[in-house]
């Protein structure tokens, strides 16, 4: 039986290009190190370069940690990244009320948007495990 994947290695590498801001680490569910990368520009580029070789392991860890299901992680992350302040990612996950609140308030004045960067993988796993 084929192993179900929750995250895409290709998307991980695409996000790695912006990895000095922690994008790939947020995607793989590593919010603490992603935040450190954000504020230190990928540990002054050194951590960012090392992650080029660590990416398959980060992907494997994410696949083991997070549950695949009806909500797609990659699509959710793309919606959060590009349309998050409008709440589109929340509407996609079936969280219509909070999605509309995000739409009206600019992602709850960006605080909710940042919160979702820290917790999106866990939010999706809870939804995927519930059905």
The three-state (H, E, C) secondary structure of 22-39, written as one string? CHHHHHCCCHHHHHHHHH
What pLDDT score was predicted for residue 115? Answer: 95
The pLDDT value recorded for residue 21 is 84
Instruction: Output the CA torsion sign for 37, 42, 47, 53.
Output: positive
pLDDT of residue 3: 63
| 20 burial via Cβ count (<10 Å: 0-12, 13-18, 19+) | buried
Predicted structure pTM score: 0.88
In the predicted model, residues of the chain with pLDDT beneath 50 are 1-2
Angle between helices 31-44 and 46-65 (to 10 degrees): 160
Determine which helix (DSSP H) or strand (DSSP E) holds 99, and give its type and residue range: helix 96-109
Measured from the Cβ of residue 30, the count of other Cβ atoms closer than 10 Å reads 19
pLDDT of residue 131: 66
């Amino acid at each position: 039986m084929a192993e179900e994947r929750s995250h895409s290695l290709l998307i991980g590498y695409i996000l790695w290009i912006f990895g000095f801001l922690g994008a790939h680490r947020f995607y793989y569910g590593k919010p603490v190190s992603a935040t450190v990368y954000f504020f230190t520009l990928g540990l002054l580029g050194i951590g960012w370069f090392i992650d080029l070789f660590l990416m398959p392991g980060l992907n494997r860890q994410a696949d083991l940690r997070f549950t695949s299901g009806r909500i797609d992680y990659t699509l959710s992350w793309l919606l959060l990244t590009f349309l998050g302040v409008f709440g589109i990612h929340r509407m996609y996950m079936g969280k219509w009320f909070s999605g509309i609140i995000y739409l009206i308030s600019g992602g709850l004045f960006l605080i909710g948007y940042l919160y979702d960067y820290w917790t999106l993988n866990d939010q999706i796993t809870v939804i995927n495990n519930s059905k």
